[in-house]
Chains A and B, each alone.
Chain A
């Protein structure tokens, strides 16, 4: 089944404790992206990747890191999480960039930073 998977689905952590949210897709997609969703603000892009070893900042990249060493994986790293990073996070992938290519979203990771 074609899908985007994220782990963990739920995470409660404390300020400053490094964490990684994994994202994997099995559709051989080149374009991958991370978003955060907050009430009243919609989805905001954190980072995106056009292909392996090609990552770039989205609209809200501060406090986050990403890497794209393999085509299928695009982990999101929070080196020193803070309470303002409490949010619902989505990974997405598509064949290429642009709306001509349907973007598939993962199920989301709900992160709480205390």
Chain B
């Protein structure tokens, strides 16, 4: 199993502020996904990035896959209370379909 480390573990910000969460590994991944999980629910896929250096935008969320395909970041601009949740990254190893998940970053956006 390939290890994915997410930082920070917890993040609390005021509505309107920006935030960035990170997902790092010593392993190379063929692709990487970001999920958001709300209390009492299962994770929901936000994005999949497959190319080193790739940047994808989803409204106020910007996702980047590192050039070396070992790391990724999620940036939220002008956070809203609806962005509150647990953000998980998951990497697919080369040559197999197995997903390795990070432990997640709990984001709280205060009104």
Contacts and interface: CB of A to CB of B under 8 A. Distances in A.
B43 interface: yes
Contact of A44 (B44, B88, B101, B104): B101
A39 B1 CA distance: 18
A45 B99 contact: yes
User: Contact residue range for chain A?
Assistant: 20 to 34
A102 B98 CA distance: 13
State the main secondary structure of chain A at its contact with B.
loop
Interface string A68-88: 000000000000000000000
Contact of B42 (A41, A58, A98, A105): A105
Interface in A23-78: 35, 39-45, 58-59
A103 to B, nearest CB: 7
7 contacts: A39-B103, A42-B101, A43-B43, A45-B99, A98-B97, A99-B33, A107-B40
Interface of A: 4, 35, 39-45, 58-59, 90, 92, 97-100, 102-108
